[in-house]
Amino acid sequence: MEPIVLVGMMGAGKTTIGKALAARHGLSFVDADEALEARTGVPIPLIFELEGEAGFRDREARLLDELLAKEDLVIATGGGAVTRAENRLRFKRRGVVVYLEAPLEVLWERLQYDRTRPLLQVPDPKARLQALLAERDPWYREVADLIVPTRDGRLSAVVQTLEEAL
């Protein structure tokens, strides 16, 4: 089976939902950010600091290329993976791509105290989040085979909606 690829903003629940989905179906689970940290031996914010966002995106694109070639896997991608056209093309070619959709207020509630997302370490992180969502939402829709709202769903409800649709 082709990989199930979860896309969506940071805070949308890709990792939590991906883990639950994989466990219920005996699939492997990979979080792309965790895999990059394991591979480089350093946390994501330090990769951004040392190599800039472009360096991070290069590493992310190479990793996604490898992961998409696998079978029977659920992949939680980083929220910014769709910003690269090469990744969008990869997502369209392979994988069942699921957009976990959440509105700004829900994302902000989950992320406001977060210090692990380098893109939100700015004077007005909520405005940044809003701008990123506006820019990326069309890309998530473009690559998605399936769109699942996560706004008020409990985890089990979201996983169930996904299972019914897959």
DSSP 26: T
- Give every CB contact of residue 154 below 8 A, 6+ residues apart in sequence: none
Which of 3, 18, 80, 95 binds ligand S3P (CB under 6 A)? It is 80
- Cβ of residue 157: shortest distance to ligand S3P, in angstroms? 21
Which of 22, 79, 101, 129 binds ligand S3P (CB under 6 A)? It is 79
- Cβ of residue 153: shortest distance to ligand S3P, in angstroms? 18
Q: Which residues of 77-100 are buried (b: 16+ CB within 10 A; e: fewer)?
A: bbbbbbbbeebbebbeeebbbbbb
Closest CA to 24 of 147, 165, 162, 149: 162
- Cβ of residue 27: shortest distance to ligand S3P, in angstroms? 19
Distance between CA atoms of 139 and 133, rounded to whole angstroms?
Answer: 10
Which C-beta is closer to ligand S3P: that of 3 or that of 78? 78
Annotated binding-site residue numbers for substrate: 33, 57, 79, 136
Please list every residue from 10 through 69 that binds ligand S3P, using CB under 6 A.
Answer: 10, 14, 33, 44
Distance between CA atoms of 64 and 58, rounded to whole angstroms?
Answer: 10
Which of 13, 68, 117, 143 binds ligand S3P (CB under 6 A)? It is 117
Distance between CA atoms of 163 and 124, rounded to whole angstroms?
Answer: 37
The two structure tokens encoding residue 4: 């199930």
- Cβ of residue 163: shortest distance to ligand S3P, in angstroms? 22
- Cβ of residue 33: shortest distance to ligand S3P, in angstroms? 5
Residues in binding contact with ligand S3P, number by CB under 6 A: 10
Distance between CA atoms of 11 and 102, rounded to whole angstroms?
Answer: 8
Which C-beta is closer to ligand S3P: that of 119 or that of 147? 119
Contact residues: ligand S3P, CB under 6 A: 10, 14, 33, 44, 78-80, 117-119
